[in-house]
A = this chain, B = another copy of it.
Amino acid sequence: MLDQPRVQRPAMADRSTPLLFNHWYIAAYTREVTRAPMDRWLMGESVVLYRKNDGVAVALQNRCPHRSFPLSKGKLEGDNIVCGYHGFKFNTAGKCVQVPSQATTKSSLDIASFPLVERGPLLWIWMGDAKLADPAKIPDHSWLHDPGHSAVLGYFHVKSNYVPLHENVLDLTHFHFLHGADVGALSFVEAPPETSVENGVVKVLRVDRDTIPPPHYARMAGIAGHRADRISEAEVPSPALSWARATIVDREPMPGARKDYHFWIMHGLTPVNQNETHYFWANVRDCSVGDKVIDEWLMPRSAKVLSEDVEAVQWCQEIWAQTAPERYGELNVASDAPGVQVRRVLAQHAAKEHGGAVAEMDHHAPQ
C-alpha cells in the first residue's frame, strides 16, 4: 500500500489560509435582526436574517436557486420568506414550499438554513457541517450578558483578513506605539506576558503588582488614586472570538468596600470573506453598572482606540496585497509569541477541516 501524499500546510495561518467553517461565529447583534429581512455576507456567502412571528431568528442562504435573486429583497409571509422576483416561497428550514407556476416543488429547490443561537446581545451562526453544530461549542461570554454587568457595543467593517486582527488583539506592544502613551505603557513592551495553549485555546497572562491602574479603570471602579494589583488575561477560545479581562485588585479599599473589579473587552471576528472582516466589539465592566454617564464617556473613547487598530491592519493589508507574499514574508519576534500560538491553532483547524498536514514550524520566535 502506498502512502498518499498529503498537502503540506504552513505551520501558521496567514491571510490566505482557507476560512474555518466548523465554528460558531457572530452573525449580528440581536438588535439588528427584525421582521424586515436583512442581508449580510458571512464567510463568503450571502445570508438573509429575519425573525419569525414568535421572535426566533432565522438565517437562510440569500439566493433563490431559481435565478439567484437575493431573498432579502423579498418579503415575509408569516414565518416563510417569499422571493421578490417570482414568488418562490421558503420555510425557515430552507425548504422550498411553493413555486407559483407549479402545483409541486422539489428538493433541488431547497436552500441552506443555518443554525442560529441567540445569547445575550449576540446572534451566533454555524455555517459549516450542520451535524457538528453543537451550541455547547459557543465560547462562554456570560460576562457580556449576565446580570451585574454593563457593556458598550460597537462594530467595524474591516478591509483585512481576520487573522491579523486576532494577532493585533493579543499583542501588547502595539498599545504604546499605535495608541500612544495614555493607552499603552512602555513596560508592556519590555516584559512579554506568559502564553499557554490548552485544547486549542490560547491564553495569555500578565500580572502587575502594586501599581497605579490606568485612569479609566480607576474611574469606573471609583478608586482613583489607590494603588492596586492588575491582572491582565486574554483568551482566544475560537477563530471567532478573542477577549481580554483586566482584574484590578484595590490595595487600599475603603472599609467594607469590595476589592476586585473586572473589565472585559470582546473582539468578535467574523470573516465577510477572505479579505474582509466583521468586527463586533464590546467593552464590559462589573462596576458602575447601569451608569449611562460612564457609557457615554466610554463609548467614543473605546471606538477611537479600536479605530486605530482597524486603520493599522487595513494599512498592513494594503501593503501586503501589493507586495506579499510573492516578494516578502512576515517575520516574528518575541512579542509575537501569543499571536504565533493563535496562528498555529488556526493552521491546525484548517488542516482538520480542509485536509493536509501542518508543517513543522518554519518561523521560530524570536528571530
| A→B interface (CB under 8 Å) | 44-46, 62-63, 65-70, 73-74, 82-87, 99-102, 104, 106, 108-109, 164, 167, 171, 173-174, 176-178, 189-190, 192, 312, 315-320, 322-324, 328, 330-335, 366-367
Q: How far is the CA of A100 from the CA of B335 in the complex (A)?
A: 8
Compute how far the CA of A106 lies from the CA of B174 in the bound complex, rounded to whole angstroms.
20
Q: How far is the CB of A45 from chain B (nearest CB, A)?
A: 7
Interface contact B84-A177, CB-CB below 8 Å = yes
Distance of A84 Cα from B308 Cα, bound (Å): 11
Q: List the B residue with the shortest CB-CB distance to A191.
A: B101
- Evaluate contact between A333 and B65: CB separation under 8 angstroms: no
- Chain B residues in 8 Å Cβ range of A320: 68
Q: Which chain B residue shows the least CB distance to A323?
A: B63
A69: B residues at CB distance < 8 A: 312, 315-316, 319
Question: A176 contacts which chain B residues (CB < 8 A)?
Answer: 87, 100
Dominant secondary structure at the A interface? loop
Chain B's nearest CB lies how many Å from the CB of A243?
A: 22
Residues of B within 8 A of A174 (CB): 85-86
How many Å lie between the Cα of A167 and that of B85 in the bound state? 12
Bound-state CA distance A109–B367 (Å) is 9
Q: Across the interface, do B68 and A101 meet the contact criterion of CB distance under 8 Å?
A: no
| In the complex, chain B residues whose CB is within 8 Å of the CB of A83 | 177
- In the complex, chain B residues whose CB is within 8 Å of the CB of A100: 173, 176-177, 189-190, 335
Complex Cα–Cα for A13 and B104 (A):
26
A82 cross-chain contacts in B, Cβ below 8 A = 177
Q: A100-B173, A366-B102 are in contact. Are A323 and B68 (CB under 8 A)?
A: yes
Instruction: Say yes or no: A68 contacts B324, CB within 8 Å.
Output: yes
Q: CA–CA, A165 to B186, complex, Å?
A: 51
In the docked arrangement, what's the CA distance between A29 and B323, Å? 25
**Which of B99, B102, B173, B334 lies in contact with A87, CB distance below 8 A?**
B173
When distances are taken between beta carbons in the complex, the residues of chain B under 8 Å from A316 are 67-70, 85
Cα-based distance from A335 to B102 in the complex (angstroms): 8
In the complex, which residues of chain B have a beta carbon less than 8 angstroms from the beta carbon of A101?
Answer: 173, 189-190, 192, 333-335, 366
Task: Report the minimum CB–CB distance from A329 to chain B (whole Å).
Answer: 8
